[in-house]
Amino acid sequence: ETILVSELANRMAERTPDVIKSLMRMGLMVTGNQAVDADTAELVIDEFGHRAVRVSDSDVEQVIDQVQDKAEDLRPRAPIITIMGHVDHGKTSLLDAIRKANVVSGEAGGITQHIGAYQVKTESGALLTFLDTPGHAAFTSMRARGAHVTDIVVLVVAADDAVMPQTVEAINHAKAAKVPMIVAINKIDKHGADPQKVRTDLLQHEVVVEAMSGEVQDVEVSAKTGKGLDNLLEAIALQSEILELRSNPDRAALGAVIEAKLDVGRGPVATVLVQNGTLKRGDIFVVGEQWGKVRALINDKGERVDEAGPSVPVEVLGLDGTPAAGDVLNVVSTEAQAREIADYRIKAAKDKRAAAGAAITLDQMLAKAKADQNVAELPVVVKADVQGSAEAIVQALEKIGNDEVRVRVLHYGVGAITESDIGLAEASQAPVIGFNVRANAPARNSANQKGVEIRYYSIIYDLVDDIKAAASGLLSAEV
């Protein structure tokens, strides 16, 4: 019973180097392509604050069966890219321009379908997979469901507008997910475009681009004229090489749902991004609480294909129900097994809902921090009524800490607590702190559903005191 270190990281939505570091602290010297046994894996999972899901005996067997990739079986795979940035800065335009440029240079007559993701080939021959849903809401909700589908974030910043609130949100989301960024400075065709302002603005958010002697690649583009698009694609290909993304095409598929719908003519349809292995027609699979047998696979050009390998997005037909975006797909050997796992998950989800109110409280985070022998981070999301308070709170929180615990502000901003804040908090298991602001109704519902804790304050002293107490282990169980 073993699992590959890179696979373990993938399943936890953590970075492989972080998992390797954690194993090193346990005295194990391994690389991402080596395997560890199930018990060690469970220790690591605990250390990262996740729960090991030994769903059922058959599931465990199956899952472990699937992770026997040997280093020599691993092949390079295309990177998966999400475009983020402030509204109107050109995310959709950029996605369209990249797709169109490629259709022209690619196969003639290929009419691209919107299936939630598409692949392009760069001039130098690298394949890139773009998620077609720009923005951080989708990114964060997928991550909250455990699907780690983005390898690279392209941060679009309009050169005539520079860094805006959602630019900052996007930066924080990418950082929280530990996904590398490339900055696309867009709209350079416009009068009044000031790319340099974008670069200096970004410095304030600790994004230092190459043009400022930093390490984050920055590329000037125009989604309108197409200028710089090639450079952007090559920058992505370069970043991808650095990441050394690898997977094994010769095994049962593992993938993530990026979109799903109930189609009148075709029944439930899910777009799946294969993350490892190859998905084939006739494969039996379980995906979240659904299962099925692949009846047809349709690629991003609307063509029927027999199989889809790593990083290839395909529409999957043959599901018994509609899964959710972020659900993980596993190919299994028998229908009985698929049905059993799906049933088990339905029941488990029901149990979980029954145990509602199981919020991620400061106390639980503290317990987690204590279990961890190293410096633990207490992640928080802060929203306040005015910028001055928000900054004062962040400064005060960042000062808290000792050798064991440190507070990490994932994101802060001005205004009501929104669903986006809840999504980010859930993905990082953080509470949301509201200072003189409330959560709006959708955010409250979402927090209830996801078990995210919201704490309200109107006195900075109280707020800092509470967090300090939590951080130093003085907070009693009354939270």
Q: Work out which of 24, 87, 386, 474 binds ligand GDP, going by CB under 6 A.
A: 87
| SS3 call for 421 | helix
Q: Work out which of 15, 77, 91, 136 binds ligand GDP, going by CB under 6 A.
A: 91
Size of the site for ligand GDP (CB under 6 A): 16
For the CB of residue 330, give the shortest distance to ligand GDP in the complex, in Å: 33
For the CB of residue 96, give the shortest distance to ligand GDP in the complex, in Å: 7
Residue 224 interacting with ligand GDP (CB under 6 A): yes
* Nearest partner of 450 among 5, 201, 141, judged by Cα: 141
Do the beta carbons of residue 146 and residue 13 sit within 8 Å?
yes
- Candidates 89-97, 206-214, 230-238, 423-431: pick the segment binding ligand GDP (CB under 6 A): 89-97
The number of residues in the chain equals: 479
Q: Work out which of 88, 123, 244, 335 binds ligand GDP, going by CB under 6 A.
A: 88
Neighbouring residues of 96: CB distance < 8 A, sequence distance ≥ 6: 223
Specify the amino acid at residue 72.
Answer: E
For the CB of residue 232, give the shortest distance to ligand GDP in the complex, in Å: 12
| Greatest CA separation for the chain | 67
Using CB under 6 A, which residues numbered 134 to 153 contact ligand GDP? 134
For the CB of residue 414, give the shortest distance to ligand GDP in the complex, in Å: 21
**Closer of 133 and 337 to ligand GDP (Cβ):** 133
Partnered with residue 158 across adjacent β-strands are 186
For the CB of residue 158, give the shortest distance to ligand GDP in the complex, in Å: 7
Residue 82 CA to residue 149 CA, distance in Å, equals 9
User: Within 10 Å of residue 347's Cβ, how many Cβ atoms?
Assistant: 12
- Candidates 87-95, 304-312, 351-359, 453-461: pick the segment binding ligand GDP (CB under 6 A): 87-95
Residue 359 CA to residue 302 CA, distance in Å, equals 43
**Closer of 156 and 319 to ligand GDP (Cβ):** 156
| SS3 call for 412 | strand
For the CB of residue 194, give the shortest distance to ligand GDP in the complex, in Å: 14
Q: Tell me the DSSP string of 9-75.
A: HHHHT--HHHHHHHHHHTT----TTSEEEHHHHHHHHHHTT-------HHHHHHHHHTT---GGG-E
- Candidates 142-150, 182-190, 445-453, 462-470: pick the segment binding ligand GDP (CB under 6 A): 182-190
**Closer of 94 and 254 to ligand GDP (Cβ):** 94
Neighbouring residues of 269: CB distance < 8 A, sequence distance ≥ 6: 260, 261, 262, 263, 315, 316, 317, 319
Residue 89 interacting with ligand GDP (CB under 6 A): yes
Q: Residue 360 gets which letter from DSSP? A: B
Residue 219 interacting with ligand GDP (CB under 6 A): no
Q: Work out which of 33, 34, 92, 436 binds ligand GDP, going by CB under 6 A.
A: 92
The answer to whether the annotation marks 85 as part of a ligand binding site is yes
Q: Work out which of 40, 222, 330, 389 binds ligand GDP, going by CB under 6 A.
A: 222
Residue 186 interacting with ligand GDP (CB under 6 A): yes
Residue 37 interacting with ligand GDP (CB under 6 A): no
| Per-residue b or e along 234-272, where b marks 16 or more CB atoms closer than 10 Å to that residue's CB | bbbbebbeeeebbbbbebbbbbbbbbbeeeeeeebbbbb
Site string for ligand GDP, 349-388 (x = CB under 6 A): ----------------------------------------
Binding site as annotated, residues for GTP: 85-92, 132-136, 186-189
Q: Which residues contribute to the site for ligand GDP (CB under 6 A)?
A: 85, 87-93, 134, 186-187, 189-190, 222-224
